[in-house]
Amino acid sequence: MSGRWLSLWLPDWPIERAMLGAARQGRPLAPGEPLALVLPERGVPRLTAVNEAARARGLDTGLSLADARAILPGLPVRPADPAGDAAALAALALWCGRWSPRVAVDGGDGIILDITGCAHLFGGEAALLETVRRRLEALGITVRTGLAGRLAAAWAWARFGAGGLLGQERQDEALAALPAAALRLPEETVAALGRLGFRQVGQLAALPRSVLLTRFGAALPAALDRLLGLDETPFVPLREPAPFAVRLSWAEPVGSTAALERALRRLLESLCGDLERACRGARRMRLGLHRVDGEVAVLEAAAGRPVRDPGHLFRLLAPRLDGLDAGFGIELMLLEALETALLDPRQADLAGDAEEEAVARLADQLAMRLGAERVMRLEPAESHVPERAVRLLPATAMPALRPWLARQPRPLRLLPRPEPVEAMAPVPDGPPARLTWKRAAWRVVAARGPERLLPEWWRPEDEGRRLRDYYRLTIEDGRALWVFREGAYGDSESPVWRLHGLFQ
């Protein structure tokens, strides 16, 4: 895969993560104190990782715990946590997003960065490598780096080569001298190659691909092609870079809420300027706060409609900065517009929709404080049956493009279920002249209708349902009722009248 790729290999990741966890809990290991991680394998506890002090005393991974304690009585051990190691590695990869917007976890002990077009921001590739190494080692993480023009080459150079920058001029020669394990093949394949005398990449590259394919299958020639640049290595970043993003870093970490709020205002002003030039508005935002200790605090905010008002977006994000755990300080802020939509310039007051926008902003702020699932709004649904014509959605959800049914008047609220009423009509198919509801009788002074609604025959739940004739009736006390007659005269079953809603 063409470009520039930086591979980070963390050979002691699980054990160093355990040591860092102990230090954060106030129980750091004494210098030279051994430690091992243990995981049961077929009922036998075995060492999955050891620190340098334990390795110096003759311990290594794969030993049973009984054998390890025979060598070193009183060996301190901790349970291995593969799931926690993977989650922490993904979090560290996101923290490495300060050097490239495209990062991915590489196995259980590596991180890959696509640094194409990024190195000049840090003083060049050599300076970037030194910065990465120094920052990770300051966190207590051992790292080996490999930087090359191909992803597979960067991975191999970090683990089996000299590490660092692999120059373009002698790249193929350097890769040819690497051991066969640099092809990232299964251990049994590498062992089989060794028994046949093929121990270097160059020896395999000199053979016809057809011979390798016949003897070892498609995996070996494919791995050779990826390493030598004849094929591309798939790369899927943890997060695709947002099209609109701005960042701000400090020479010294900051931790006060006031300083973070000032920085957030600056970022919002810059981002909203980019959105305005693109005639777009933000619907979903993400603020990443990169801490000195390798953690990233992530805050997200959503808006019900596209917006590029810095003040409104600040009111959505700023309350969550108060009480934020800044650790030993924040050194970088990254603000991204994850989801945007077209938002043409317009004059809201002249269009008469200022009140509508104010309601939308209020809904956004309530959703951020109370939770998106607790602030709801109505949206038209694809149904002409009144009780199915609307649905409840979170206030920040994307609005539908379907218009509201405006051809006929509808009550603002419907009854939970249509309630039966008794009606007296002068003619069978006409509107009622008197209504009785909940043992109270009223005279109808005005009637409008009917509006006939047929069952939605394509829905299984509407099987057997009858047509409805809806009327808007004004009764003598001034209230307007929405009633319907279910069924028609002449059917095998007599029609019934029901009250479905009140207009006032």
3-state helix, strand, coil split of the chain in percent (to 5) is 35, 30, 35
Here the contacts of 63-67 (C-beta below 8 Å, separation 24 or greater) are 65/38
Does residue 484 sit in helix, strand or coil? strand
Considering Cα of 130, then 136, then 141, then 144, what sign does the dihedral take? negative
Q: Is the pLDDT of residue 313 over 60?
A: yes
- Specify if 390 maps to a domain: no
Last residue of a domain, one of 225, 241, 257: 241
The verdict on 330 and 194 lying in the same domain is no
The verdict on 232 and 259 lying in the same domain is no
How far is residue 146's CA from residue 112's CA, in Å, rounded to a whole number?
10
Q: Is the pLDDT of residue 350 over 60?
A: no
Do residues 299 and 317 lie in contact, with contact meaning Cβ atoms separated by under 8 Å?
yes
Q: What is the mean pLDDT of the chain?
A: 88
The verdict on 258 and 299 lying in the same domain is yes
Residues 391-410, mean pLDDT to the nearest whole number = 70
* Entry pTM: 0.73
The verdict on 236 and 252 lying in the same domain is no
The residue written with tokens 């951020």 in the block is 368
**For residue 403, what pLDDT band results from cuts at 50, 70 and 90?**
low
**Per-residue model confidence as pLDDT tens digits over 464-486:** 889 999 999 999 988 999 999 99
The verdict on 181 and 291 lying in the same domain is no
Last residue of a domain, one of 219, 241, 263: 241
One-letter identity of residue 28: P
The verdict on 458 and 485 lying in the same domain is yes
**β-pairing, 164-165 with 36-41?**
unpaired
CA-based nearest residue to 304, from 292, 312, 295: 312
* Residue 483, both tokens: 């009633």
CA distances from 229 to 4, 5, 59, 152, 312 (A): 13, 13, 39, 8, 49
Query: What pLDDT is attached to residue 421?
Result: 93
- Specify if 53 maps to a domain: no
Q: Residue 297: which domain range?
A: 244-345
Query: What pLDDT is attached to residue 40?
Result: 93
Q: Is the pLDDT of residue 270 over 90?
A: yes
The verdict on 105 and 230 lying in the same domain is yes
Last residue of a domain, one of 320, 345, 370: 345
Query: What pLDDT is attached to residue 400?
Result: 65
How far is residue 25's CA from residue 42's CA, in Å, rounded to a whole number?
32
Q: What is residue 426's DSSP assignment?
A: S
